[in-house]
Amino acid sequence: MANIGHFMIPSDDVDRAKHFYSTLLGWRIEPTGTPVDPVMMTEMQYHDISTGVASKGTMNTGGLYKRHMTEPILNFVKVDDIDMVQENVERLGGRIMRQKEEIKGVGQVVMIQDTEGNAIGLWKPEKKQAGTVSGI
């Protein structure tokens, strides 16, 4: 069964949002350590969120970044076969908002819109080599 694997919070002021969430909820929020395009990360002001130790039924990773449009909080559903899931989106009445792309250090992602207009990310994690850590 596919499960939420990551969430992203857009913000108008990254420092203000970082202060809010870390103070209110105790989340650890730090600039990303994932080796990705440095220009893109600088523009996004992307930060990794750790919500603590994952327990049964919870996730513990997210991201905080500089808002670019009016996007809402975005959840990424972790899937095993991203191509198969992407192929079924439009057949089921959804829409592909952004085609599959490979993000180095993270894996493959696709942005979709469900039948109700909600944005959802699909994520197939990058296969890790021994001793590596994924950013999402």
Domain boundaries, the chain: 1-68, 79-128
Torsion region of 89: left, alpha or beta (phi above 0 gives left; psi -120 to 50 gives alpha)? alpha
Mean pLDDT, rounded, of the chain = 83
User: Residue 40: its pLDDT value, please?
Assistant: 67
User: Residue 44: its pLDDT value, please?
Assistant: 80
Report pLDDT digits (tens) over 51-102. 888 777 667 888 888 988 888 888 888 888 999 999 999 988 899 999 999 9
Give the whole-angstrom CA distance, residue 18 versus residue 37: 22
Q: Decide: pTM greater than 0.75.
A: no
User: Residue 96: its pLDDT value, please?
Assistant: 95
Matching fold, domains 1-68 and 79-128: yes
Exposed, middle or buried: residue 70 (CB in 10 Å: 0-12, 13-18, 19+)?
exposed
Question: Does 35 have pLDDT greater than 90?
Answer: no
The sheet carrying 74-78 orders its strands as 28-31, 47-50, 61-66, 3-11, 74-78, 119-125, 107-113, 95-103
User: Residue 82: its pLDDT value, please?
Assistant: 93
Q: Which CATH superfamily is domain 1-68 in?
A: 2,3-Dihydroxybiphenyl 1,2-Dioxygenase, domain 1 (3.10.180.10)
User: Residue 100: its pLDDT value, please?
Assistant: 96
User: Residue 132: its pLDDT value, please?
Assistant: 44
Q: How confident is the model at residue 37 (pLDDT cuts 50, 70, 90)?
A: low
The matching CATH number, chosen from 3.40.50.720, 2.160.20.10, 3.10.180.10, 3.30.2010.10, for 79-128 is: 3.10.180.10
Is the distance from CB of 42 to CB of 73 less than 8 angstroms? Answer: no
Instruction: Write the DSSP symbol of residue 129.
Output: P
